[in-house]
Structure 1
Amino acid sequence: MERRKDSKGKVLKDGESQRKDGIYQYRWTDKTGKRHTIYAKDLKVLREKENNANKIISQGIDFEGGKITTYQFLIRYYEFKKTSIKKSSLKTYYTTTNKLKDTSIGNTKIIDVKISDAKQLIIDLSQNGLKYSTIKTIKTLIKAAFKMAQEDDLILKNPFDFQLNEVIKNDTKKRVALTEQQYSDLLEFVLCDRVFRKYYDDIVFLYETGIRVSEFCGLTLSDIDFVKHEVVIDKQLIKTSKGELYITDPKSKAGFRTIPLSAEAYHAIKAIINRRPQTNEMMVDGYCGFISIHSNGTPKTAWNIEYELREIAKAYNSLYPECQLPNLTPHVLRHTFCTRKVSSGMNIKAVQYLMGHSSVQITLDVYTSIDADMIKTEFAKVAQM
């Protein structure tokens, strides 16, 4: 029996055919009896698709399921995850998905996404001005979704399984801790300024405890034990982009902790409480009595504290251009706390606990800084042995 040929005289395989408009197609029936068809403008491309389809089918991959687009699958993935993740994380997930909605890869079937497509997305995001840390978050979330697709046998391999710094340069600026002199100068400036002095105790408490600013904003009167000189961290206060306030658990299980108060932190928190306005207080998810509140009774949020520190640093640097403060944020105070504890010789596991980190590696790799003075001090200790 003579085999079918295309318009150029090339022999076609079983399942292959050429339409009158010149388009090639390959048709097959799966084990459930459902018919499938793939198309291509030339025979070579058709056979590449054909080989890929047969490879996928032979390994038990769900070819039909793999036809869902990246954008559609991400939506499905986040719907699946939303009952087990925090509200703030879900917001990040959907923000990430929306960035892909109108992109080439967002409209590509997950079964057709190649590593080169994933890397091109990374390059495009970088060229569009997104920071390395933001792109890293996006890649991590998409990689997790494709991992589920791989586990569900929808795809053969995860196209996002590569190192980010192989594609774009890591331009993340290293966090800089305040020196003791900078901190001392900062406190003196704040204490002597009639506008900023009311923020003095907030700065001291954050510096002396190292807690996250959202944990600080979530503190209530019942979290402070003035007898034992301790503060219990068991929640965060979060403000959404729409201005809504809600309470959530700490960042991880390690975030639940009890922190001893230094003398400075003890006096700072007492001053903050004594300064609280007498007003009708807002209740958030069943909690009231927040440590730091506005005159109208609403609790302060991370944005408020960040703004206060930004204004203080701006005023300080304007007055003392010869000795500028680094970017001053609540996280810089937390970072400085961690660096001080590590450099003082505190057991790293104890520092990890105080910081509420899920692993020691985070404590060491991300949050500690080493300056020239610290190196000299440590070298002198060894030399005296």
Structure 2
Amino acid sequence: MATIKPYETASGKRYRVRYRKPDGSQTDKRGFKTKKEAELFLASTTVSKATGDYVDPKLGRITIGHLGPEWLAGKKTVVKPSQYASLDSSWRTHVDPKWGSREISGIKQSEVQTWVAALRGKRSATVVLRAHGILAGILDAAVQDRRLSRNPARGVQLPRKGKSSKTYLSHAQVAALATETKQHATLIYVLAYTGLRWGEATGLRVKHVNQLARRLSVEENAVWVGNKVHVGTPKTHERRSVPYPKFLVSGIADLMDGKPADALLFGTGTDGYLRPPHPSHSWLAKACRDICARHQKQIEDGAKDVILMPAVTPHELRHTAASLAISSGANVKAVQRMLGHASAAMTLDTYADLFDDDLDGVAKRLDKAARKARKAS
């Protein structure tokens, strides 16, 4: 039988509710300032027990610091090593210091909102969204385990990630970059004309090349996390076959010459993977700077039609591949398959700016068809 009893404290009268949990054991909840508050709590508890939604308050006394490592351990088996490294770093840097000592039942939505706003004032939207996602994920698990009735991290206002600008190289710029990088020329061409990610390209082995069909079989992805390389499946876990242009036949053949089937196409032996070039100090960055300096000198000397070279990363060569493919007339589905995107919608969302010119073409074709129909009538 549930009861509501008053008791005295230094701050005045308070009320305590004593009731039985679904397992029959007795417990109580104290600290209500008015009898009405106590009655409302008792009523809601009675309903939750009847509907099977009851959450034992004692289970909510566990801390985020206790649940966090368990949640991260679960993620380690289902996400890529690079993604796990980002989650682990965000947990240690942003989530654990702020929430680690807090009991989950005491966390309020307003507190989470304040934390998100404060973090946004110092960090990028990507960092904020990742940190919030970790906290929300931990609390989601707590709700599923019946430690909480609701997740206070859900429903807060979150920042939006702005779309970053992309760099697209022309055919001439790609050729200039390949020439400047010398021994990496074929790698530059493969990145810029097949759209492979760096890890996919550097994970290619001799056996993945079909010279007759001019196809690259993308089956492995070599991703560096710190000083260790993790080799797994491609990003979407889907293997794909990507064609390469005829002009690359001799360059790829040269790289294959004398190598066993399991040897890396780019790299040494079977495990000598190339590290991704650093944005500011690497062979790729130096090549971009040297081309830019040389062309700038040509401009100063009065030369015309000089093609300038922006600083690029391997991923921008992937963007370039999409741009060159679309400008050559490739449709969305073809570009999706080439890049290994999960859907055509993702390709359109990522490269919507490259399809803008198609709108003019559509309008012209519609105008031509309408004029023809009007003349016929």
Partner of 2:249: 266
RMSD: 3.9
What is the distance in 1 between the residues matched to 2:336 and 2:107?
40
Which 10-residue stretch deviates more, 367-376 or 227-236? 367-376
Partner of 1:291: 265
Q: Is the 8 A contact 1:175 1:367 kept in 2?
A: no
What is the distance in 2 between the residues matched to 1:353 and 1:154?
44
> What's the secondary structure of 1:351's corresponding residue?
helix
Number of residue-to-residue matches in the alignment:
350
Please state how far the C-alpha of 1:233 moved relative to its aligned partner: 0.7
Equivalent residues in 2 for 1:104-143, closer than 5 Å: 104-128=98-122, 130-143=123-136
Equivalent residues in 2 for 1:77-88, closer than 5 Å: 77-88=71-82
What is the distance in 2 between the residues matched to 1:224 and 1:357?
21
2:149 to 149, 156, 161: 156
Please state how far the C-alpha of 1:259 moved relative to its aligned partner: 1.2
Which 10-residue stretch deviates more, 61-70 or 366-375? 366-375
What is the distance in 2 between the residues matched to 1:77 and 1:351?
37
Whether 1:302 aligns to 2:276 is yes
> What's the secondary structure of 2:353's corresponding residue?
coil
Whether 1:361 aligns to 2:345 is yes
What is the distance in 2 between the residues matched to 1:9 and 1:94?
44
> What's the secondary structure of 1:14's corresponding residue?
strand
1:212 to 197, 202, 225: 197
What is the distance in 2 between the residues matched to 1:224 and 1:80?
36
Partner of 1:96: 90
What is the distance in 2 between the residues matched to 1:79 and 1:269?
41
TM-superposition CA deviations, 1:129-151 (whole Å, max 9, x none)? x3222333333344333333222
One-letter amino acid of the structure 2 residue matched with residue 206 of structure 1: L
| Residue segments in structure 1 that go unaligned for 5+ positions in a row | 16-26, 282-286
What is the distance in 1 between the residues matched to 2:11 and 2:320?
75
TM-superposition CA deviations, 1:81-109 (whole Å, max 9, x none)? 43333333332332222124553333322
Please state how far the C-alpha of 1:292 moved relative to its aligned partner: 1.1
Partner of 1:221: 206
Partner of 1:314: 289
Check 1:6–1:62 CA distance in 2 against 1; reply closer, same or farther (3 A cut).
closer
> What's the secondary structure of 1:153's corresponding residue?
coil
One-letter amino acid of the structure 2 residue matched with residue 6 of structure 1: E
Equivalent residues in 2 for 1:58-73, closer than 5 Å: 58=49, 59-73=53-67
> What's the secondary structure of 2:65's corresponding residue?
helix
One-letter amino acid of the structure 2 residue matched with residue 178 of structure 1: Y
Partner of 1:184: 172
> What's the secondary structure of 1:12's corresponding residue?
strand
Please state how far the C-alpha of 1:190 moved relative to its aligned partner: 4.6
Q: Is the 8 A contact 2:216 2:244 kept in 1?
A: yes
Whether 1:347 aligns to 2:331 is yes
> What's the secondary structure of 2:77's corresponding residue?
coil
> What's the secondary structure of 1:103's corresponding residue?
helix
> What's the secondary structure of 1:314's corresponding residue?
helix
What is the distance in 1 between the residues matched to 2:233 and 2:343?
18
Q: Is the 8 A contact 1:352 1:359 kept in 2?
A: yes
Partner of 2:304: none
One-letter amino acid of the structure 2 residue matched with residue 65 of structure 1: L
Check 1:155–1:327 CA distance in 2 against 1; reply closer, same or farther (3 A cut).
farther
Normalising to structure 2: TM-score of the pair?
0.76
> What's the secondary structure of 1:202's corresponding residue?
helix
> What's the secondary structure of 1:215's corresponding residue?
helix
What is the distance in 1 between the residues matched to 2:368 and 2:194?
32
What is the distance in 2 between the residues matched to 1:234 and 1:266?
20
Please state how far the C-alpha of 1:300 moved relative to its aligned partner: 0.9
Which 10-residue stretch deviates more, 106-115 or 30-39? 30-39
> What's the secondary structure of 2:193's corresponding residue?
helix
2:14 to 12, 15, 21: 12
TM-superposition CA deviations, 1:270-312 (whole Å, max 9, x none)? 34445x9x8xx9xxxxx94011115998221334799333222
Please state how far the C-alpha of 1:220 moved relative to its aligned partner: 0.5
What is the distance in 2 between the residues matched to 1:63 and 1:3?
19
Check 1:8–1:62 CA distance in 2 against 1; reply closer, same or farther (3 A cut).
closer
Please state how far the C-alpha of 1:156 moved relative to its aligned partner: 2.4
What is the distance in 1 between the residues matched to 2:120 and 2:10?
45
One-letter amino acid of the structure 1 residue matched with residue 152 of structure 2: P
What is the distance in 2 between the residues matched to 1:264 and 1:115?
59
Q: Is the 8 A contact 1:206 1:333 kept in 2?
A: yes
Q: Is the 8 A contact 1:343 1:374 kept in 2?
A: no
Please state how far the C-alpha of 1:231 moved relative to its aligned partner: 0.9
Which 10-residue stretch deviates more, 301-310 or 227-236? 301-310
Partner of 1:23: none
Partner of 1:252: 236
What is the distance in 2 between the residues matched to 1:161 and 1:14?
30
Please state how far the C-alpha of 1:12 moved relative to its aligned partner: 3.4
One-letter amino acid of the structure 2 residue matched with residue 316 of structure 1: I
Please state how far the C-alpha of 1:51 moved relative to its aligned partner: 4.3
